[in-house]
Structure 1
Amino acid sequence: MTTVRRAMRGPARWLLLLCGLALPAGDLGAASAGGWMPHPSPQTSAALTPADPDANMPVPKQHNFSSSNTTHVTGIEIPLRVGLEAHVQAQLGDVLAFYRTELAKRGWEEKPEGTVVAADHVQLAFASPKGPATLKLGRAKDETAVSLVQRNTEAAAKANFLPIAGQARLIFGYLAPDVASLVINDQTIKIAGGENHPQTLDLPPGTYSYALLVSGYRVRTDTITVAAGEAWSLTLDGDKKPDQIY
């Protein structure tokens, strides 16, 4: 399996996003004395076991694709958010059993809120030692797609990105000082602007339309959907969509 890692920076230096991308291995199988062997089908796969038993974000050995991403804030060593995406050649129920077992070993406590377990998709919430976490599973062709996210409460508090209880927090800024305003939820908020000067706004969960005004002119409109306990970055200097950073 080939692994490629890239680092990307947003327009404001206060946010650093590091992404790791693992490319699928294609149709090549493992070498053996008898020659090349194809990937086993989901029906004949062995019991799922972790590729790295000590990894904080486990993935089964039987995966044929995985990628990871980590969100950092400049000046804070620990990440705000860690994510894992994977495709596993196994039935959804087997992958669900794997993650319930492996995450429990790591001290993750499954929560009843928002639990969905259906034949073709799963969504679970956890309280992990570092903060809230979610697991989403879905079927894609003959594979099970995995999305695992862990948020770090300590890092969010240090960065002032932790929303007040029951609400979501928006973090936004504009490079040019004193020329822009954010219009959202019947509020018009003047943006001080400049590098490394993010502003924050707490909102109840929901879907909001917002607009960016520059020198009195509306230059961009979009929508954002937020849930309680989340933090989102609004990048107002370009066409980039909002990013969930916690």
Structure 2
Amino acid sequence: MHLIVGLGNPGDKYRNNRHNIGFLAVDAIARRHGFPAFREKYQGLISEGTIDGERVLLLKPQTFMNSSGDSVQKVAAFYKLGPADISVLYDEIDLAPGKTRVKVGGSAGGHNGIRSIDPQIGTNYRRVRLGVGHPGHKDLVMPHVLGDFSKAEQQAWLVPLLDAIAANAALIVKGDDNGLMNKLAIAVQGDGAERTQRPDTADPTRKKAPAQSHIRQARPAGPQAKVPDTGPMADMLKKLFGKKD
């Protein structure tokens, strides 16, 4: 059995927040693989189904982000699951929008949900970090992660990313981290994501840029893509986010 946890905050006011991308990812997996309706248990919403013949639990803790570990620990204890049987999907401001990183173990990196989970179950579980971008200054981080995804973000990279996570959920269960990252990168196709190659190594003749602060500078947003009102993409957006702008 494998436990896939999506992190977020409960309640309609937070539903489309960047901080709730973990909830959105788990919902996409549930729809894709025909999981039954979530039920309230273990201080969370839980559903059990199968992915590629493997028993899988999907969990959305309802404790609010900072106490996510309480729910995860209860599920892990009841089903006798160790860290190797658990994968956690959550937002990452230090990754460009649409970019993903998957690894086992590591630190909380300032994420309060992960900080709550680590002392409860240990650190050697799989972390699927889903980039939502940095607002440019530490004072803007809270309103950024608690802000809703724009329609342009949804179309440019969020819907393709969530669809790819759901389609490739078996790779999470199997622990194929590189395979999962490759599939997700292909699905997003670079929309909204920065290249991983550093400018000073991409071209050996290019002069090295002056050192900058570790706090990223905000960049002016480009023109927003027009979001379709009809068609398959519009239907997908309505299922994920409802009709709210």
Pick the TM interval, shorter chain.
Answer: under 0.3
Whichever structure has more helix as a proportion of its residues is 2
Q: Which has the higher contact order (CA 8 A, sep 6+)?
A: 2
**Largest Rg, 1 or 2:** 1
Query: TM-score, normalised to structure 2's length?
Result: 0.26
Whichever structure has more strand as a proportion of its residues is 1
